[in-house]
Structure 1
Amino acid sequence: MAYATQILTSHDTFAARVERAIDGLRHWRAQRAEFTKIYNELASMTDRDLADIGISHGQIREIAEQAAAAV
């Protein structure tokens, strides 16, 4: 009977993992900034202004989340 041994090695250096973590943090911050910008902009609009563009106050968070996800 033959046995096979599989050894998984990671060629990721510590620096590469840190760089990916920093890139992830930058991306999260960019998404959060976009969410905040869109949310505040829409939340400051009157009901009439929101109705003119076809949204309600209940949709503001969802729209801001979608905009942030697109970053």
Structure 2
Amino acid sequence: MSYTTATTSSFDVAARMHSLIEGFRANRAQKRAERQTYNELAAMSDRDLADIGVARGEIRHIAAQAGVLR
């Protein structure tokens, strides 16, 4: 005597595509925030940066953090 078990897997292509697109959008927004923060800080003079307590060498790191926080 043999037994057969029928199983089905959920393969929802639409949900996967939606998730993929949302991931791309989130990544694009993060990169946009990074780029905007970097450009704004890079445009500041050394004196302005010193006033807010930022060294020019820290700009890239601060911009990366700003992208993650947004």
What is the TM-score of this pair, normalised by structure 2? Answer: 0.85
Counting matched residue pairs gives 64
Once the two structures are superposed, residues 27-69 of structure 1 have per-residue CA deviations (whole angstroms, 9 ceiling, x without a partner) of: 0010011001000000000000000000111100000000100
Root mean square deviation of aligned Cα: 1.6
What is the TM-score of this pair, normalised by structure 1? Answer: 0.83
Please identify runs of 4+ aligned residues in structure 1 that moved more than 4 A: none
Whichever residue aligns with residue 16 of structure 1, its letter is A
Which residues of structure 2 form unaligned runs of 5+?
1-6
Which residues of structure 1 form unaligned runs of 5+?
1-6
Aligned to 2:40: 41
How high is the sequence identity, in percent, across the aligned residues? Answer: 48
Aligned to 1:4: none
Cα offset for 1:12? 4.2
Whole-angstrom distance in 2 between the partners of 1:12 and 1:42: 46
